A and B are shown apart, each in its own frame.
Chain A
């Protein structure tokens, strides 16, 4: 058995294989439901209704998708340039900390929102800059450093919430004081529980798309990702490109935490992110690292989580089924994409 490149993959091959991957994921979902002693079709139905079956469900899905669009973009930007930023979780918390620091009275309207957004962006960018400089200057693998920074950041947030940022009115719970109303993101439509973080996430996706397709930097990022030696040989400033990529990626991830605090929660607590940074990797990969695709897959992933929560309450299948399905979808999808370019032949 060996692999043979397919010169001109047909449209059927390009679309059929990813569709097959999604179909296989649905089959896995049904098998897991069966394993849990539930009716597979009912479980699938409950996930779908739980995600989009009512106005409340749709708003919940859109809200859940907001941080995932940001972290998905952060990962997509970095992975395009083969910069393995697995630290979106830490950068997210950097943004969240800034939202609290500047949003609890340090600044007033009308400056607090734009200023804290920009500072949050910078904080996330700086946090990723450290591993990237270690990578380009000393050859330290950024996978491990960004991963370990997630754990260091979680402990730092825990320290802040039990120390300097602790809410004096918090009844002893480790959470920050509430943001002042001027520091909160307003709702996009009056009467609908959807904050402007979602709108900003869409705008961010548009900006990243423009950078990717219409600017020299976007071209350089892709070139560095495709073949770093060729890019260097062609005279591209590889180090500068990687640093710019890192600033963009870290900043986007920080906006996820900033918008969760300023938009959704109004305060910072240790459970702000149920792994949005890590889920961003799935979002970006399912979107094939395409910035506009990230919006679609973030909505899909958010829907699976929200739907699985609702289904779990009704059918009793553990909610971790969502994490399993997304991991399976990720693995099937990378395989399917690879198989559009090669075919398996005997001999």
Chain B
């Protein structure tokens, strides 16, 4: 068995799959991270990924270019983010309850709209998804090239997005304001910046990124929209934010680790071991890994001080 695992680990196709599987998780984890660093837990993530997957796919199906589909997904996600933000920031409603409500609403909206647009189909129509774009020169490097530099554009975008989020968060005044909203909102307000505005803005952008993560599934990984295709990825991203201790770099590492487990279990199913061990056990591995990761990391995590604490101006 050890030999088989090693063979899998040194194949370029395995590492290519890791990057591919990690891409939607990176987008959505960055989205959740932005929300939480601003002090807002967004449990709408699962549903927002569903609406992103649907909206992006539908837009392309109706004739928009692929990047147009990504933009539509972002917009749809931001819209649901606005709903979440308005309910939990100025009104201070329970972030747990509203987030779950947003997940239910966004999921149901996607399914309702899908059935409305395509009442009679048994198998959903396909679109032409993003194709693999090999980076010139770099993709010719043996092993590393086909693993890292023969991906679809959205995968490169996911990593660029993580870099951008890290840069904005730590190197710009905007990022400082965002972190202050999650750590010490009163100090931010004293600077003359609206905490409400920063938080709602963060939730909208974050939700947009979650939806882009969802759209990766329909525009890059598969070419159709299926019910339950998000399948808990949103919840896993919440775990990844904790695992990454609310830092973009560590969160990306977590996403890669998770994707590694996922890619490994798919391949282990094909080995002789897969004939003995039930496939459900393999499918459980990534979820079990997420829980274990939470257990290991929760002790040391630096939770944003004002996470889930509603802010009221002028109140101590």
Contact = CB atoms under 8 A, between A and B. Distances in A.
B170 interface: no
Contacts of A134: 294-295
Interface stretch (A44-52, A136-144, A209-217): A136-144
B18 interface: no
B239 to A, nearest CB: 5
Nearest to A331: B101
Contacts of A163: 278
Interface size class of A (residues with CB under 8 A): 35 or more
B91 A338 contact: yes
Interface string B237-249: 0110010000000
A309 to B, nearest CB: 13
Contacts of B97: 281, 285, 330, 334
B265 to A, nearest CB: 11
A84 interface: yes
B91 A144 contact: no
Interface in B99-133: 100-102, 104-105, 107-109, 111-112, 115-116, 119
Contact of B109 (A141, A324, A338): A324
Interface in A111-163: 134, 138-141, 143-145, 147-152, 155-156, 158-159, 162-163
A335 interface: yes
Nearest to A275: B104
A97 B212 CA distance: 38
Contacts of A346: none
A94 to B, nearest CB: 15
A268 to B, nearest CB: 15
Contacts of A145: 291, 294
Interface stretch (A64-72, A197-205, A243-251, A313-321): A313-321
A328 B105 contact: yes
A331 B232 CA distance: 22
Interface in B72-101: 83, 87, 90-94, 96-98, 100-101
Contacts of A319: 115
Contacts of A278: 100, 104
Given A320-B108, A320-B111, A334 B92 contact: no
A159 B119 CA distance: 33
Given A139-B299, A159-B281, A318-B112, A335 B100 contact: no
Contact of B104 (A140, A149, A326): A326
B36 to A, nearest CB: 11
A281 B111 contact: no
B143 interface: no
Contact of A162 (B105, B107, B236, B278): B278
A32 interface: yes
Say what secondary structure dominates the interface of chain B: helix
Interface stretch (B8-16, B56-64, B198-206, B282-290): B282-290
Given A155-B280, A318-B116, A323-B107, A334 B236 contact: no
Interface in B293-316: 294-295, 298-299, 312-313
A335 B93 contact: yes
A271 to B, nearest CB: 12
B43 interface: yes
Contacts of B111: 318, 320, 323
Nearest to B96: A84
A326 B108 CA distance: 10
Given A327-B104, A334-B98, A151 B112 contact: no
Interface in A181-203: none
A144 B278 contact: no
Contact of A331 (B90, B105, B242, B294): B105
B116 A3 contact: no
A36 interface: yes
Contact of B115 (A152, A159, A281, A318): A318
A152 B288 contact: yes
Given A321-B112, A324-B108, A334-B94, A138 B87 contact: no
B159 interface: no
Nearest to A337: B93
B67 interface: no
B156 interface: no
Contacts of B92: 3, 338
Interface of A: 1-3, 32, 35-36, 84, 86, 134, 138-141, 143-145, 147-152, 155-156, 158-159, 162-163, 278, 281-282, 285, 316, 318-321, 323-324, 326-328, 330-331, 334-335, 338-339
A-B pairs, top 8 by smallest CB distance, nearest first, are: A318-B115, A323-B108, A327-B105, A327-B104, A159-B280, A320-B112, A324-B108, A155-B280
5 contacts: A2-B312, A140-B294, A149-B291, A331-B102, A334-B98
